[in-house]
């Protein structure tokens, strides 16, 4: 089921027909289904959601959704959007923390373009005291993402961090390397369908690796982010008795809001990943793949919306 669901939603994420359909209905109204997981299509909507989370004691990271761009123009446009987002966030008083993906910034075009674009974002980000997290994408991008990260690190950018996935066999070494550098790691299980040659096919092994890496990061890492909704992993993190200011928990917007709130109440740092923008379809498909029960949630919503329209 684990990899079956991932394969199915991977295929669906490539369906242009479903994409058009979902894009038409998913965000149309306040109650439309995609809004459960995506803060909105505009920066203003994202800021509104961010303000409300901030008021309830959450930390934030904003992700302007987009990935897999194929042309220089698209990569440029995404870079400009991030630069603009930095200005808007500074003016709005929202926490200065953003997440981004390298395939959004032209890594498929070439590495130099991507590094250039990253620098165009990091210059104003650094000036304004932002933290910029590079999300980790599927395994064809692992090595290049880490190379770009290390190049930027060598160029003395320090307000940056990376995400690493426990699903990948190589991650143990990558965690070690990041710890040696003194870089901040966000530990995730991994949202992509991966071949057996590079990733653990069984969920139990992905979980066991997460538990191992979590211990290493909490003992030897530099302000690690434990990014999971899994209560077992959260309990394990707590059991390490690390001071709450030396690490943070992270969860996705709209997922396990109960658990998010209770961790804040207990005095832990809890960062919510707030995605927004018009390119939300692949992100939504990954959320469905992680938990097929979400399909029922969305189907229910779509049906209700359809009935509502008929009335
Ligand atoms: C802040 C943050 C940033 C992330 N960044 C990346 C990244 O850069 N690269 C990457 O590959 N992945 C990223 N992910 C996704 C991650 O890899 C997992 O796919 C995702 O978090 C689900 O795994 P889990 O750790 O929550 O554990 P699971 O074992 O999958 O889930 C544990 C429990 O969490 C709840 N849950 C999990 N997912 C959902 C969902 N979609 N809807 C509803 N409930 C759910 C369920 O109650 C489930 O039983 C990120 C996740 C977070 C929280």
- 226 SS3 class: strand
Of 65, 205, 207, 229, best ligand 1 pocket probe by most atoms within 8 Å of the beta carbon = 229
Q: Is the CB of 234 under 6 A from ligand 1?
A: no
Q: Is the CB of 237 under 6 A from ligand 1?
A: no
How many CA atoms lie less than 13 Å away from 140 in the CB half-sphere?
5
Which of 234, 229, 230 is CA-nearest to residue 251? 229
Alpha carbons 299 and 229: distance in angstroms, whole number = 23
Alpha carbons 154 and 181: distance in angstroms, whole number = 10
pLDDT category at 224 given cuts 50, 70, 90 is: very high
What's the gap in Å between 286 CA and the centre of ligand 1? 9
Q: Using alpha carbons only, how large is the chain's radius of gyration in Å? A: 19
Closest Cα to atom 25, ligand 1: which residue? 228
CB distance 138 to 172 below 8 Å: no
Q: Is the CB of 250 under 6 A from ligand 1?
A: yes
Alpha carbons 212 and 131: distance in angstroms, whole number = 26
Q: Is the CB of 100 under 6 A from ligand 1?
A: no
For residue 282 the two structure tokens come to 């692949």
CB distance 95 to 60 below 8 Å: yes
Please state the φ and ψ torsions of residue 192, each to the nearest 5 degrees.
-110, 155
Alpha carbons 273 and 61: distance in angstroms, whole number = 5
Tens digit of each residue's pLDDT (9 = 90 or more) over 261-294: 999 999 999 999 999 999 999 999 899 888 878 8
CA distances from 15 to 5, 24, 106 (A): 15, 14, 23
Whether 256 sits among the annotated catalytic residues: the reply is no
Query: What angle, 0 to 180 degrees and rounded to 10, lies between the N-to-C axes of helices 203-220 and 171-181?
Result: 10
CB distance 277 to 23 below 8 Å: no
Q: What is the average pLDDT value for the chain, to the nearest integer?
A: 93
Q: Is the CB of 59 under 6 A from ligand 1?
A: no
Closest Cα to atom 21, ligand 1: which residue? 228
Tens digit of each residue's pLDDT (9 = 90 or more) over 64-96: 999 999 999 999 999 999 999 999 999 999 999
Which of 9, 12, 32 is CA-nearest to residue 254? 32
Place of tokens 């003395």: 156
Neighbours of 120 (CB within 10 A): 16
Whether 287 sits among the annotated catalytic residues: the reply is no
CB distance 288 to 295 below 8 Å: yes
Choosing from 108, 135, 174, 207, which is the catalytic residue?
135
- 77 SS3 class: helix
Neighbours of 2 (CB within 10 A): 14
Tens digit of each residue's pLDDT (9 = 90 or more) over 97-142: 999 999 999 999 999 999 999 999 999 999 999 999 999 999 999 9
Which of 250, 258, 252, 254 is CA-nearest to residue 297? 254
Q: Is the CB of 194 under 6 A from ligand 1?
A: no
What's the gap in Å between 112 CA and the centre of ligand 1? 31
For residue 159 the two structure tokens come to 């307000």
pLDDT category at 22 given cuts 50, 70, 90 is: confident
Of 34, 103, 227, best ligand 1 pocket probe by most atoms within 8 Å of the beta carbon = 227
Place of tokens 């390490």: 240
Q: Is the CB of 135 under 6 A from ligand 1?
A: yes
Choosing from 36, 96, 186, 271, which is the catalytic residue?
186
Of 38, 189, 199, 256, best ligand 1 pocket probe by most atoms within 8 Å of the beta carbon = 189
pLDDT at 12 over 90: no
Q: Could you tell me which residue, 173 or 294, shows the higher pLDDT? A: 173
Q: Is the dihedral of CA 166, 167, 172, 174 positive or negative?
A: negative
Element (H, E) at 52: helix 43-55
What's the gap in Å between 191 CA and the centre of ligand 1? 7
Q: Is the CB of 226 under 6 A from ligand 1?
A: no
Alpha carbons 67 and 40: distance in angstroms, whole number = 17
């Amino acid at each position: 089921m684990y990899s079956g669901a991932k394969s199915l939603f991977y295929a669906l994420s490539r369906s242009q027909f479903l994409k058009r359909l979902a894009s038409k209905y998913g965000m149309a109204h306040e109650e439309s289904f995609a809004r459960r997981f995506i803060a909105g299509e505009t920066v203003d909507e994202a800021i509104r959601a961010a303000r409300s989370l901030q008021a309830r004691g959450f930390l934030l990271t904003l992700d302007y959704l987009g990935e897999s761009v194929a042309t220089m123009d698209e990569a440029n446009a995404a870079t400009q959007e991030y630069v603009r987002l930095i200005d808007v966030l500074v003016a709005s008083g929202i926490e200065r923390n953003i997440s981004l993906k390298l395939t959004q910034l032209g890594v498929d075009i070439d590495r130099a373009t991507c590094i250039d674009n990253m620098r165009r974002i990091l210059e104003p980000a650094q000036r304004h005291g932002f933290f910029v997290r590079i999300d980790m994408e599927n395994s064809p991008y692992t090595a290049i993402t880490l190379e770009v990260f290390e190049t930027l690190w060598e160029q003395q950018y320090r307000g940056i961090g990376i995400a690493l996935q426990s699903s990948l066999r190589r991650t143990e070494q990558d965690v070690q390397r990041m710890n040696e550098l003194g870089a901040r790691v966000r530990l995730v299980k991994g949202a992509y369908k991966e071949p057996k040659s590079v990733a653990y096919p069984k969920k139990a092994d992905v979980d066991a690796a997460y538990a191992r890496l979590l211990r290493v990061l909490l003992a030897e890492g530099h302000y690690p982010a434990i990014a999971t909704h899994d209560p077992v992993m959260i309990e394990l993190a707590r059991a390490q008795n690390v001071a709450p200011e030396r690490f943070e928990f992270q969860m996705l917007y709209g997922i396990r809001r109960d658990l998010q709130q209770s961790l804040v109440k207990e005095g832990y740092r809890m960062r919510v990943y707030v995605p927004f923008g018009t390119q939300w379809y692949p992100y939504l498909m990954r959320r469905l793949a992680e938990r097929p029960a979400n399909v029922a949630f969305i189907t229910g919503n779509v049906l209700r919306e359809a009935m509502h329209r008929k009335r």
